[in-house]
Amino acid sequence: MATEVRRDVVVLEARRERAGGLWSPAARVASLAGVVVAWELACRLGGVPAVFLPPPSTVAAELVGMASSGELWRSLQASLLRIAAGFVLGSTAGVLVGTVAAVSSVAEAVVDPLIAATYPIPKIALLPLLVLWLGIGEASKVAVIAIGAFFPVAVGTMAGIRGTDPLLVRAAVSLGASPLQVIAKVRIPSALPVLFAGLRLAAGMSLLLVVSAEMIAAATGIGFTILHAGDLMQTPKLLAAIVVLSALGVLSTWGLQALERRVVRGRST
Amino acid sequence: MDVRFEGVQKTYRRRDGTPVEALAGVDLVVRSSEFVCLVGPSGCGKSTLLLIAAGLVPPTAGRVVFEGDAAGRPRTAVVFQEFALFPWRTVLDNVAFGLEVRGVSRSERHERALSLVRQVGLSGFEHRYPHELSGGMRQRVGIARALCVDPAVLLMDEPLSALDAQTRQLLQEDILRVWEATRKTVLYVTHNIQEAVFLGDRVVVMSRRPGRVREVLEVPFPRPRTEALLADPEFAGFCHRIWSSLKEEARAALEEAYGDGSPA
């Protein structure tokens, strides 16, 4: 019997690398389009009653109608003003309080337990109290949004500033930076990525709270439109308003990302 | 400017409150325009001594005296082992930081920072961010940043320890070149004996913890020094002498660190 000699040869050849990066944007569009098409087909062929779920084409037509009648812009304006005022007030206060609490141990001792005790309160629960204090007008709605935006920003600012690499502080001090300069030129820039995470949470919170507040105590705004359309069984309008909310959420995320790219530079370490 | 360490002592407290004596009375004089290297076994407090000189850590006892006319210049600037660059600032703005916090105008500080960036061989990289640079380039930025404030005394805390051997060799020569041009007073901490001998006018050998000055040696090799010195048998012999002085300390330090007396 002949001896059999086996030799294994393994060859690693050049090959094209997977072009996953090219396909994923297409997959994203397809997933969204697929849901819309399935929805349209279900309504047209599956006999889903339009009063419960109108097809996307009807919702789109309703949206166009609301835009041309001016109703869309009126509610959008009302909601956006509330969000903007509340978000700016709340996040400004959050950055200030967070910064002070992060750099002063006395302020930390004062602020930390207060935040720990009040952060878990669902902010919408405060609306009746705020209406008692500030009236049913814009102030109470802006206030509840401001409170909602304050917490994530304050907590993010604190965490970011406390997380500053002590070596960078040491380097700045050795180069002659004063305590205030250390805060402005080292601690806050180093906290920015975490601070922006707080801002994104705050933006989501603002959207949630504006809708809730408008459902409880308002005669304008997207939240009011949704509630009112639901009461009247105007399902296309209700869904159109929800689409607007979704767009607002996406736009606010994009806006903050664009701002972050401008402000936060040179990292990835 | 002369720097005089007089009985400098440092005792840390561990988190559980037990005191650790890092430095046990260090007396040392660094003369003006002198390049002094501090070597010692790990944990001997040599970096602590440097941070005390920088004013970043207060001594428990004793004092550091700076003598001489600083002519309005800052006393010290530090080059850190881990570079400690600000990741959100460009090379130029990192280098200019010390002037910026002193209120020097933008155009003036950028002009000076640019000349230092050039001096350390980073021309063309002034608008890059630290994460875009190699380790050797980052430390060049660290050196330029410290020199930019024109300190009377330059303190360098194991500046090349985080770099690979080839980069370290190149930077040693660059440090010498820059130093020959400025003749600054330098206190240079390292655990690398060859590096200390290659760079320094004197080498201070420290004992293990608690650190004190064990021996001070004048380096006999003339300047300007070049790479060729490294191949000189006398250089090797001198380094070996220091190593013999350091060896028992290093071994004892290691045994103390592991606590069981087993050989390293």
Judged against a pLDDT cut of 80, whether residue A18 lies above it is answered with: no
Q: Do B90 and A266 touch (CB under 8 A)?
A: yes
Residue from B57, B80, B86 to probe the interface with A (highest A Cβ count within 10 Å): B86
Provide, as residue numbers in chain B, all residues whose Cβ is less than 8 Å from the Cβ of A262. Answer: none
Q: Which residue has the tokens 């191949």?
A: B231
Residue B38: enclosing H or E segment and its boundaries? strand B35-39
Name the band, by pLDDT with cuts 50, 70 and 90, for residue A13: confident
Q: Do A174 and B145 touch (CB under 8 A)?
A: no
Higher pLDDT, A140 or A48: A140
- Of B178, B136, B184, B131, nearest in space to B161 by CA: B136
Judge whether A22 lies within some domain. Answer: no
Task: Please write the tens of the pLDDT for every residue from B242-261.
Answer: 998 888 888 887 887 776 54
Under 8 Å CB pairs connecting chains A and B tally to: 70
CB atoms within 10 A of CB A252: 19
Range of the domain at A64: 56-261
Cβ distance of A185 and B84 shorter than 8 Å: no
Is A262's Cβ below 8 Å from some Cβ in B? no
Q: Are A163 and A103 in contact (CB under 8 A)?
A: no
A28 domain-assigned: no
Give the 3-state secondary structure of chain A: CCCCCCCCCCCCCCCCCCCHHHHHHHHHHHHHHHHHHHHHHHHHHCCCCCCCCCCHHHHHHHHHHHHHHCHHHHHHHHHHHHHHHHHHHHHHHHHHHHHHHHHCHHHHHHHHHHHHHHCCCCHHHHHHHHHHHHCCCHHHHHHHHHHHHHHHHHHHHHHHHHCCCHHHHHHHHHCCCCHHHHHHHHHHHHHHHHHHHHHHHHHHHHHHHHHHHHHHCCCCCHHHHHHHHHHCCCHHHHHHHHHHHHHHHHHHHHHHHHHHHHHCCCCCC
Closest Cα in chain B, distance from residue A169 (Å): 9
Chain A residues near residue B100 by CB distance under 8 angstroms: 185
Instruction: Check CB contact under 8 Å for A185 and B100.
Output: yes
A246 and A59 in contact (C-beta within 8 Å)? no
CATH number for position A105:
1.10.3720.10
Query: Residue A181 domain-assigned?
Result: yes
Q: Is A47 on the interface with B (CB under 8 A)?
A: no
* Contact at CB, A170 and B100, closer than 8 angstroms: no
Measured between CA atoms, the residue of chain A closest to residue B90 is A266
Q: Does A269 have pLDDT greater than 50? A: no
**pLDDT value at residue B264:** 44
Residues 6+ apart with CB under 8 A from A141: A82, A86, A127, A210, A213, A214, A217, A218
Q: Summarize pLDDT for B64-77 with one digit per residue, the tens.
A: 999 887 777 888 99
| Residue A32 resides in a domain | no
In a domain, A66, yes or no: yes
Q: Which residues from B are below 8 Å from A167, CB to CB?
A: 80, 82, 84
Share of chain A above pLDDT 90, in %: 75
- pLDDT confidence band for A265 (50 / 70 / 90): confident
> Smallest Cβ distance to B77: which of A175, A190, A268?
A175
What distance in Å separates the CA atoms of residue B225 and residue B73, rounded to the nearest whole number? 29
Residue A197 in domain: yes
- Number of domains comprising chain A: 1
User: How many other C-beta atoms lie within 10 A of the C-beta of residue B98?
Assistant: 27
| Both structure tokens of A246 | 């979704």
Whether residue A213 lies inside any domain: the answer is: yes
Q: Please check whether residue A103 lies inside any domain of the structure.
A: yes
* Strand-pair category, B35-39 with B153-157: unpaired
Contact list, B95 vs chain A (CB under 8 Å): none
- Extract the residue ranges of chain B whose pLDDT is less than 70: 259-264
pLDDT at A268: 46
Q: What is the mean pLDDT of chain A?
A: 91
Confidence tier at A1 by pLDDT (50, 70, 90): low
| Contacts B84 to A, Cβ<8 Å | 165, 167-168, 170-171
Note the pTM of the prediction, 2 decimals: 0.83
Which residues on A lie below 8 Å from B76 (Cβ)?
174
Q: Do A190 and B78 touch (CB under 8 A)?
A: no
Give the percent of chain A with pLDDT over 70.
96
A249-260: pLDDT as tens digits? 999 999 999 999
Region A164-173 average pLDDT:
95
Q: How many residues does this entry show for chain B? A: 264
Across the interface, whether the CB atoms of B78 and A174 are under 8 A apart is answered: yes
What structural domains and CATH numbers belong to chain B? 1-75+154-160+183-264 (3.40.50.300)
